[in-house]
Amino acid sequence: MSDNEGLEDIDGVGSTYADRLRDSGIDSVAALADAGAEEVAEAAEAPESNAESWIEEAAEITDEEGGEDEDAGEPDEQDVDEAKGGEEAGESEEEDGEDDSDEPEAEESEEADEEDGEEEDEPDTTKDKLDRLGFFDNDFTEFPPELSGLKRFKAEKNAEPIIEALRIPEYDTTFMRLEMIEALGRIGDEAAVDVLLDEVNNNDTKMEAMDALGRIGSEKATEKILGLLDPERKVQPHVRTKAAETAGRIGDDEAVEYLVATLESDSARVRGAAAEALGEIGSDEAVGDLAEILEEEEDETVRIGAARALRAIGNDAARDALVEYENDRNELVAQAASAV
Domain span at residue 13 reads 7-68
Give a yes or no: residue 78 inside a domain.
no
76 assigned to some structural domain: no
What stretches in the chain show pLDDT beneath 70?
1-5, 66-121, 340
Find, among 242, 162, 248, 251, the residue nearest to 210 by Cα.
Answer: 242
What domain count does the chain have? 3
Residue 121's pLDDT is 63
User: What pLDDT score was predicted for residue 1?
Assistant: 45
- 268 and 227 part of one domain: yes
230 and 186 in a common domain: no
Query: Are residues 227 and 278 located together in one domain of the fold?
Result: yes
Give the list of residues 6+ apart from residue 201 with CB closer than 8 angstroms, or none. Answer: 41, 42, 44, 45, 46, 47, 48
Statement to judge: residues 210 and 236 lie in one domain: no
User: pLDDT value at position 109?
Assistant: 61
76-86 b/e with 16+ CB inside 10 Å = b? eeeeeeeeeee
- What's the pLDDT score for residue 106? 54
* 272 found inside a domain: yes
| Same domain membership, residue 136 and residue 181 | yes
Contact between residue 136 and residue 146 where contact means Cβ atoms under 8 Å apart: yes
Evaluate whether residue 259 is within a structural domain.
yes
Query: CA–CA separation, 238 vs 208, rounded Å?
Result: 12
**Looking at 20, 43, 68, which one is the last position of a domain?**
68
Q: What are the backbone dihedrals phi and psi of residue 298, each rounded to the nearest 5 degrees, phi first?
A: -95, -30
Q: Is 115 within the bounds of a domain? A: no
Can you give the pLDDT at residue 38? 84
Q: Select from 182, 216, 250 the last residue of a domain.
A: 216
123 backbone dihedrals φ, ψ, rounded to 5°: -65, 150
- Among residues 53, 68, 83, the one where a domain terminates is 68
Q: What is the pLDDT of residues 206-220, one digit of tens each?
A: 999 999 999 999 999
pLDDT of res. 242? 98
Residue 315 belongs to domain with CATH number? 1.25.10.10
Q: State residue 198's pLDDT score.
A: 96
Q: Which DSSP helix (H) or strand (E) runs through 286?
A: none
